[in-house]
Structure 1
Amino acid sequence: MSDRRRQIADAGLAILAERGLRGVTHRAIDSAAGLPTGSTSNVFRTKQALIDGLVARLVELDLAALEGNAVPDLSSPAALAAQIARQSAALTHPPMDTLTRARLQLALDPEIDLSSQHEGFTAMATQLLRALGATDPERRACSITDYLDGLIFHALAMESRAFDIEEAALTLEALIGPCPTSGPYVDNHPFDDRE
């Protein structure tokens, strides 16, 4: 993505997070980015092209954030759970909360499909659980990503629901479940293994 496209997309994501999809207009982005009128429409001709550009920028930023994260701590389910909880909590605080709010706005629009991004995060969680030695890593990864989606949404949408890292870590540890190949681990939070 070129510097100009990034500048426009970043301004658009900030507007999206604050005002929702209705607030995302070519003119509003020109103003927010300090660009001459018509600059955004020169880069993204239609509203759909603009939305596609915002989604592409979110993916680019997600990949950069993942590359910048610490190496996963696979020493135990508790260690991985604590690390995931800390990283997820960061999504509800500045500066990452703006991107998270923008993503939620996009996810709520029935015409925008973010399933490939969600599936990417679930696949990554599956790989981590498999490396840790968790049983049924695919199902557990789905439970973890669904739990985190809800937790992050509540933390951003309700002032009374702050992201409690310790509580999240305990729940994530339970969702990870026993990992027989990762060493001596006592499952203090049994996972319901019914299909």
Structure 2
Amino acid sequence: MPHASPAAAPAAASTPLSPRRRQLLDAALNVIADEGLKGLTHRAVDRHAGLPEGSCSAYWRTRNALQAALTEYVAASLLADVDELTEQIRGCGPDDEQASVAATLELFLRWLDQRELLVARLELTMAATRDPELAQLLADHRARLVGIVGEIRTAAGKEHGEARAEALVASYDGILLAALLQPAPARREFLARSFELLGTALVGGNGE
């Protein structure tokens, strides 16, 4: 029986995906969430999507091609969300740090509701330590994410540099992983406390 799509479907990549490709990639997210990256096969994706065997391989002939497409899909979704956050923070203005922090908190909570997306990202990141091509894909997207973090600090009227942005991205990666391990009812409090301890470094506060 096919699994349901993630709670909130990832945003499209820069090149629009066909409904069938999106269906297959959503199924691939479910495969990884249930079985880990080792369980990612064309047959498993077809089964989770409720499609005839051979459907997935018709789009991505090899496992490496499927893995690369999934990496792009996951990264594009997260980057689209961060782009949206940047616009929200620009709308808040440099003197409304509380609203900016609240918007960031809500984004993290939304990501935590998309367990399949976060688990897939973690699995792909670990795989990238052994796969140079996958590592390059993630490095390209991470560089853009670091740039977006710099834009967010600029929008909030804060100084920034690439080293600071890199450190912030790494810090928030760690917070997301730790929050994913928390019981669902405790996640909001955990994130809010973590942001406070970091000095709300993304948009201001004592962590200048």
Normalised TM-score (structure 2)? 0.74
Residue from 88, 95, 117 that aligns with 2:108: 88
Q: Which amino acid aligns with 1:62?
A: L
Which runs of at least 4 in structure 1 moved beyond 4 Å after TM superposition?
A: 66-70, 158-161
CA spacing shift, 1:29–1:2, aligned 2, 3 Å: same
Percent identity reads: 27
1:71 aligns with 2:88: yes
Please provide the CA RMSD for this pair: 2.5
* Bigger Rg over Cα: 1
CA spacing shift, 1:157–1:166, aligned 2, 3 Å: closer
Q: Which runs of 5+ in 1 are unaligned?
A: 179-186
Verify the 8 A CA contact 1:89 1:152 in the aligned structure 2: no
1:150 aligns with 2:174: yes
Residue from 59, 70, 74 that aligns with 1:58: 74
1:118 aligns with 2:142: yes
The equivalent of 2:32 in structure 1 is 16
> Deviations along 1:36-64, whole A, 9 cap, x unmatched?
11111111100011101111222343355
Q: Which amino acid aligns with 1:40?
A: C
> Deviations along 1:5-51, whole A, 9 cap, x unmatched?
11111101111122111110011111111111111111110001110
Query: Which structure's residues are more often helix, by fraction?
Result: 2
Verify the 8 A CA contact 1:84 1:169 in the aligned structure 2: no
Q: Which runs of 5+ in 2 are unaligned?
A: 1-16
Residue from 46, 49, 55 that aligns with 1:30: 46
Q: Which amino acid aligns with 2:193?
A: E
Cα distance between partner residues in 1 of 2:106 and 2:23: 29
